[in-house]
Amino acid sequence: MAMSLLTHSDLEKISKQGLDLLYPPKTKITVGMATCCRASGADEVVEAIRQEVKACLSDAVVTTTGCFGICQKEPLVDIVRPGWPRLVYAQMDGKRSRGVIQALAENKIIPKHILCKIEKETNLIENTVRLYPLNGLPEGIDQVPRYEEVPFFGKQQKLVLQNCGTINPDSIEEYIAVGGYRGLYKALKELEPEKIIQEVLQSGLRGRGGAGFSTGMKWRFCRQAKGEEKYVICNADEGDPGAYMDRSILEGTPHSVLEGMMIGAVAIGAQHGVIYVRAEYPLAIEKLSLAIKQARERGLLGANILGSGFDFDIVIERGSGAFVCGEETALIASIEGTTGEPRQRPPFPAQQGLWGNPTNINNVKTWATIPLIISRGAAWFSGIGTEKSKGTIIFSMVGNVQNNGLIEVPMGRTLRELVFDIGGGIPGKRKIKAVQTGGPSGGCIPESLLDLPVDYDKLASVGSIMGSGGMVVMDETACMVNVAKYFLSFTKDESCGKCTPCREGTRRMLEILMDITGGRGRPGDIELLEDMSRIIIDSALCGLGGTAPNPVLTTIRYFRDEYEEHIKNKRCPAGVCKGLFEFYVASDVCTGCGLCLKDCPSDAVTGEKKEPHRIDPHKCIQCGICREVCRFNAIKVR
């Protein structure tokens, strides 16, 4: 039985144990084992490393961590050896990692596999920097770029993700070692609940779930609501296509979410916490469950937390895959065991939430930000970001961009910086066309608006939303009508069907988009789409229906000509909608490399090596593989 924490010195004691784990006096090999890492082969890597360490590096410690953000380069393996900087090996596999360990056994490194070296680490909570003591550096380390020099990292400012990919999520000690639970201690022992809310209000933190409502205000409503029992809920029903920020946080630093909820509970006066996490996140559930168990063992959950007399506990509820359950009222309904469908607000959950009690629901990222704010103060936090959007924002940047991954930047960075500086731009010599933010509820922002600073209000001003942090980069091969169709078909499928405008309206709008992309568009369709969109937004029961037409509206707004081209000329200029275009080879660009010829599934490409190739339009099935494989952007559309 672990000892219960009561005092600050208790925390310090644990912190010391944690530091020993984080920075042991011997070689520590850490493998990124988040879901993204596992998807790219981390299991094989960790197995290989364990075997190899047993064989040739028996005094080394092998441990695991969460996602470090640069998912494109996973699996990552960190080497921390006394006297060296932390080395981040990227794109590992079994064979390579064996090589790395073997080299390590010989005190060597393999510089070409190292993504970067980290020479210092920041403890945000305590506002300290820890430098890796350097002596006896291995050969070739000079070739390795510093962490700050890698554009993907250098332009980011990690707050929430600070420890993600660094600490072991299974270790409460390590979390405490990097400043964990100091915020809770402060909240319980030093601040009045009203003061906590005051801090959160002054920090300017807005809900990271998408709507961007003031977190402090929300807490205050719930605190003021009458009710003997109150609930705080963590909304971890992350469902936007391509978004996985919440998952990474839960897997990488679960205690930060728990601590945030505990502070929230203190402020609001809640006795019960629920984490509603989708069942498709088994690893996150595993990490959370462990974290909750550890917190209970340490007296951080349950009765009389930190000896303060405050009682609070957290349970996990698994959601079963309905996108709409991310909506507060649907989420509550789902927890209550009924169909996960939203209901009209008011009454708001703060008035009548779970089991009819006042309830505060925040997103994973919001909760994870709270400990930082309480520890470092509102002023520090509100110093980051823009006037009305404070702090940082986490995106999962995917699509036609070089560096897919999880990024955290202060509010106010431009989209261009995100896509080109951090993301590394568009692969394959193609031009960027649009950036989609906010998931299916968001909108498409055209290339012309890339210099837009990213914050809640700026995104809204161009018809999109911040959303929970999904970001899809699209190049010129994206048909914007098709994009709208994609998102609408998602929302149509995910509409619960309770209210008429959303259920019937999205379906009918999708029919129009299917017609347009199928060459059956009619004059007036665009106006009909716009009209229906506006009324559906206005009249739908919940946020899902109320935002579902956004992708349609923004694509019409910025790419109306593409729609018109589809309708009037039955032509898809991007070459996506089958039957509405023809592929041809730009003979002046084609080098005759033969890749397209090789991959064409219908033998439509002909041509001699090093001679410009040709596509037989009669044989072409418009699958687009040729264009995908062409490295010279020689496949054109007409």
Q: Which residues form the interface with another protein (CB under 8 A)?
A: 322, 339, 343-347, 492-508, 511-512, 515, 522, 525, 528, 532, 535-536, 538-541
Q: Are 182 and 373 in contact (CB under 8 A)?
A: no
User: Measured from the CB of residue 500, what is the shortest distance to another protein in angstroms?
Assistant: 5
CB nearer another protein, residue 479 or residue 509: 509
CB 467, min distance to another protein, A: 20
Based on CB atoms, which residue is closest to another protein, 505 or 607?
Answer: 505
Of 108 and 503, which CB lies nearer to another protein in the complex structure?
503
- Residue closer to another protein, measured from CB, 164 or 548: 548
Give the CA angle between residues 135, 139, 144 to the nearest 5°.
Answer: 90
Tell me the closest approach of the beta carbon of residue 225 to another protein, in angstroms.
14
How far apart CA 341 and CA 366 sit, in angstroms, is 23
Is there a contact between 356 and 229 (Cβ–Cβ < 8 Å)? no
Between 347 and 377, name the residue whose CB sits nearer to another protein. 347
Inter-helix orientation angle 364-376/193-203, to 10°: 110
Residues 450, 451, 455, CA angle at the centre, nearest 5°? Answer: 95
Nearest to residue 366, comparing CAs of 544, 234, 185, 543?
234
Percent helix, strand, coil in the chain, to 5, is 45, 20, 40
Nearer to another protein, 79 or 536 (CB): 536
Q: What are phi and psi of 79, to 5 degrees?
A: -115, 120
Cα–Cα dist 514/512, whole Å: 5
Residue 611 CB, shortest distance to another protein, in Å, is: 48
The nearest distance, CB 332 to another protein, in angstroms, is 15
The nearest distance, CB 531 to another protein, in angstroms, is 8
Separation of alpha carbons 422 and 415, rounded Å: 10
Check: CB of residue 60 under 8 Å from CB of residue 29: yes
Minimum Å gap between C-beta 495 and another protein is 4
Complex with another protein: residue 415 or 510, whichever CB lies closer = 510
Which of 265, 325 has the CB closer to another protein?
325
Shortest CB 543 distance to another protein, Å:
12
* Close Cβ partners of 75 (under 8 Å, ≥ 6 residues apart): 31, 32, 37, 40, 41, 42, 45, 90, 91, 92, 93
Q: Is the Cβ of residue 254 or residue 549 nearer to another protein in the bound state? A: 549
Closest contact distance (angstroms) between CB of 522 and another protein is 6
CA 27, CA 40: separation in Å to the nearest integer?
25
Least distance from C-beta 520 to another protein, angstroms? 9
Q: How far is the CB of 493 from another protein (least distance, A)?
A: 6
- What minimum distance in Å lies between the beta carbon of 505 and another protein? 6
| Nearer of residues 488 and 637 to another protein, judged by Cβ | 488
Side chain identity, residue 408: E
- Select from 338, 442, 400 the least CA-distant residue to 574: 400
- Minimum separation from the CB atom of position 115 to another protein (A): 42
Give the nearest distance from C-beta 563 to another protein in angstroms.
Answer: 15
Of 58 and 344, CB closest to another protein:
344
Structure tokens at 562: 């593409």
129 three-class SS: strand
> CA–CA separation, 134 vs 86, rounded Å?
10
Q: 566-575 as b/e, with b when 16 or more CB fall inside 10 Å?
A: bbeebbbbbb
Distance CA 435, CA 472 (A): 6
Nearer to another protein, 508 or 614 (CB): 508
| H/E element, 563 | helix 550-568
Q: Which of 242, 192, 247, 234 lies closest to 335 in space, CA to CA?
A: 234
Closest CA to 123 of 172, 175, 185: 175
State how far the alpha carbon of 210 is from the alpha carbons of 394, 468, 497, 546, in Å. 12, 5, 22, 13
Whether residue 59 contacts residue 102, with contact meaning beta carbons closer than 8 Å, is answered with: no
Nearer to another protein, 100 or 324 (CB): 324
Q: What are phi and psi of 619, to 5 degrees?
A: -85, -25
Instruction: Kindly list the distances between the CA atom of residue 409 and the CA atoms of 86, 158, 163, 394, in Å, as whole numbers in the listed order.
Output: 23, 7, 15, 7
Give least dist CB 209 to another protein, A.
Answer: 18
Judged by CB, which is closer to another protein: 392, or 550? 550
CB of 221 to another protein, least distance (A): 11
Which backbone phi and psi does 110 adopt, to 5 degrees? -115, 90
Of the candidates 163, 178, 65, the one whose C-alpha atom is nearest the C-alpha of residue 128 is 178
Pick between residue 6 and residue 460 the one whose CB is nearest to another protein: 460
Nearer to another protein, 81 or 498 (CB): 498
